[in-house]
Amino acid sequence: MARERLPGRGCCALRRCLLAAALLLGLRLCAELQRAGSPPGQAPRPPGSHLQPAPGQLRGASRRQVTYVRSGRRAPARGGRSGTPEPGCCALRGRPRLKGPRWQIDLQPWAGPARSLDEEALRFLRYISTIQIACDHMSTDSLATDSSPTEKPWLVCLDDRFGLVHQIRNKQCRLYSLGLGSDDTHFEVGMASSGCEVHRFDPSVKSAHVLESEHLWYHRLSIDWRDPHPAVAAQKPYSNTRKLGTILNEFGHHKIDVLKADLESAEWKVLENLILEDVLEQIGQLIFEIHLHWPGFEVSGSDSSVVRFWYSLLKELELQDFRLFHSYKDLSKPQLFLKKDIFNASSCYTLGWVNTRWK
C-alpha cells in the first residue's frame, strides 16, 4: 500500500526555498550597489561607515568652530560679502588662517616668594623701562628723524635692518591706527604724507569709510578682543566691532608695517587676542599706549596677579621676537599705579616694539 503524504508538507518546503532565494538575491543586489557607488580603485566602505565622522573631525566640531566667539575666522555673509560695505581700498579677499587660536597665555612665574604687589610692580616697571634693542633712527611721522625723539610718545624705528624705511620709500608701507575718539592725528597725517597707506579705526567717525586724503582712510570700526556673537551679528549685520584678525581678513591685508593703539585700557585684552590668535606675525612694529591706573577691561584679580598678567603679556611679545626700542613715561597724567601713588610710576606709558624677524 502506498505511503500517504502529510498534507501541506510540500508547500512549506517550497516556501522556504523561495525565501532563501530572495535573501540571496537581495544580498547580491546590495553588494552590487555598494560596489557601483565606490570610486574606481577604491575598496567598498565598511558597513556603517556613513555614520562615522571623517578622520580627524569629531561630530559637531565644525559647528563649534564657526559659532564660537573666539574663533579666528568669520563665516562670510551670503553672496560672499561681509556685513560692512567695503571701499575700493579694502576689497574682501582674505585668506583662511592656518593656525587655530590658543585659549590662554602662559603666565610667568611670580616675581618673588611673597607674591606681593611690591615684587610684581618693581619687576614690571623695570621691564617696561629697559630698552631691549637700540634704534639709531626714530621718527614720529616721516623719514626725517627727530632731534629729540625721546620727548615724543609716538615713534617708529627707521633703521635699515628692520625694513620699514624701505617700505616707506617704495610707497608700500601700511599703518593701522586704533583709537577711541582722539582728535590728535598728527602721527597718522605725517605717516600718510610720507607715502604710507594709513587706516584709522575709530567708532566715532561719522561715515563707514572716509578717504580723508590720498593715503589716509577713516573707518567707523572699533577694534575689540572678540567678534560679536553670531546671534547678535545676525540681528545687526552692520555691527562696527571687530577683532583685528577679522579686519585683516575682510580687508585682504596680510601685513601691517606699524600698528598704533590708544585704546583707553582695552589694550590688555586686545593685545592678549593678538597673541592668542597669532596675529602678531603679521605686524612689523607695535606702538601701544598702556594704562596702569586700574586693571583694564575684563582683567580682574588681586593687584599682584593683575601685574603678573600684564608682565606675562609683554613677555609673550619677547618670545615672538619683538624687542622694546622705545619707552615714554607720560608725566602729564596722574602718577597712579592701580589707584595707588607708589613707585614713582605714571598711569600712562607709550611703548614701541619692533619685530626682529620682519621682512
For position 241, which CATH number holds?
Answer: 3.40.50
Query: Given this model, what pLDDT does residue 70 score?
Result: 35
What pLDDT does 241 receive?
83
CA-to-CA dists, residue 251 to 72, 121, 231, angstroms = 15, 39, 23
Q: Which domain range does residue 179 map to?
A: 117-142+151-355
219 is a domain residue: yes
Number of domains in the chain: 1
Residue 258 domain-assigned (yes or no):
yes
Position 92 scores a pLDDT of: 53
Per-residue model confidence (pLDDT) at position 208 = 85
Q: Residue 264: which residues within 8 A CB-CB, separation 6 or more?
A: 180, 291
Q: Which residues contact 106 (CB under 8 A, 6 or more apart)?
A: 312, 316
DSSP letters along 125-158, please? HHHHTS-SS--S-EESSSSSPPSSGGG-S--EE-
Say what angle helices 267-276 and 303-319 make with each other, to 10 degrees.
40
Residue 70 lies in a domain: no
Residue 130 within a domain: yes
At 90, the pLDDT band (50, 70, 90 cuts) reads low
pLDDT at residue 49, as a whole number: 37
Alpha-carbon span 314 to 298, nearest angstrom: 18
Q: With contact defined as beta carbons under 8 Å apart, do 335 and 346 qualify?
A: yes
Q: Is position 196 within any domain?
A: yes
Average pLDDT for residues 29-50, to the nearest whole number? 50
C-alpha–C-alpha distance, residues 268 and 295, integer Å: 9
Q: Is the pLDDT of residue 204 over 90?
A: no
Q: Is 35 helix (H, G, I), strand (E, B) or coil?
A: helix
Residue 286 lies inside a defined structural domain of this protein: yes
CA–CA dist 219, 177 (Å, integer): 10
Which among 126, 147, 110, 192 is positioned nearest to 324, based on CA atoms? 126
In a domain, residue 251? The reply is yes
Please state, for a pLDDT cut of 90, what percent of the chain lies above it.
51
Whole-number Å distance between alpha carbons of 317 and 281:
10
Residue 299 belongs to some domain of the structure: yes
| Cβ count within 10 A of residue 337 | 22
Q: What is the pLDDT of residue 17?
A: 74
For residue 146, give the nearest of 190, 197, 176 by alpha carbon.
190
Q: What percent of the chain has pLDDT over 70?
A: 69
Q: What is the pTM of this model?
A: 0.70
pLDDT, one tens digit per residue, over 119-157 is: 999 999 999 999 999 999 998 655 554 444 445 789 999
Task: Kindly state the average pLDDT of the residues 330-352.
Answer: 95
- Residues 197 and 177 sit within 8 Å (Cβ to Cβ): no
Q: Is 294 exposed, middle or buried (0-12, 13-18, 19+ CB in 10 A)?
A: middle
Q: Which of 267, 261, 333, 332 is nearest to 295 (CA)?
A: 267
